[in-house]
């Protein structure tokens, strides 16, 4: 019985870390949510963190640039990515791209006054 328990524990410790992915502090994540036409800001897990802006909804898409924590953005729409995360199509100035929704917080950030 102990061997079965240890074998199960070993299997779980090798599977779980590979499947686990950090979730941001923002409004989205792995749930299907609707987002369209509002002001928001980047909110990362670190005060000096950055969020990748990509040319499509998913980590496999090319990175356009990085947005600093508390950067104000406009959310245009959303979609469910193939990675099971919700992605927001956003605009920052003249640049448009895709960010993971769980790193976007509602409202305007005074730290990044445009």
- Of 12-16, 35-39, 109-113, least confident by mean pLDDT is 12-16
Is a pLDDT exceeding 70 seen at residue 112?
no
Is the pLDDT reported for residue 71 higher than 90? yes
Which residues lie closer than 8 Å to 81 by C-beta, 6 or more apart? Answer: 57, 58, 87, 100
The pLDDT of residue 107 is 83
pTM over 0.75? The answer is no
CB 65 within 8 A of CB 53: yes
**Which pLDDT band, with edges at 50, 70 and 90, does 29 fall under?**
low
What confidence tens digit (pLDDT) does each residue in 77-96 have? 999 988 889 999 999 999 99
Place 4 in a pLDDT band, splitting at 50, 70 and 90. Answer: low
């Amino acid at each position: 019985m102990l061997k079965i328990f240890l074998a199960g524990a070993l299997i779980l410790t090798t599977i779980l870390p590979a499947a686990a992915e950090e979730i941001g502090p923002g409004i989205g994540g792995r749930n299907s949510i609707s987002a369209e036409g509002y002001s928001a800001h980047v909110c990362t897990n670190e005060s000096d963190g950055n969020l990748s802006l990509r040319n499509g909804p998913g980590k496999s898409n090319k990175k356009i640039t990085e947005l600093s924590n508390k950067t104000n953005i406009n959310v245009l729409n959303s979609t469910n990515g193939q990675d099971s995360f919700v992605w927001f199509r956003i605009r920052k100035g003249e640049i448009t791209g895709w960010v993971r929704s769980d790193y976007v917080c509602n409202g305007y950030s005074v730290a990044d006054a445009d």
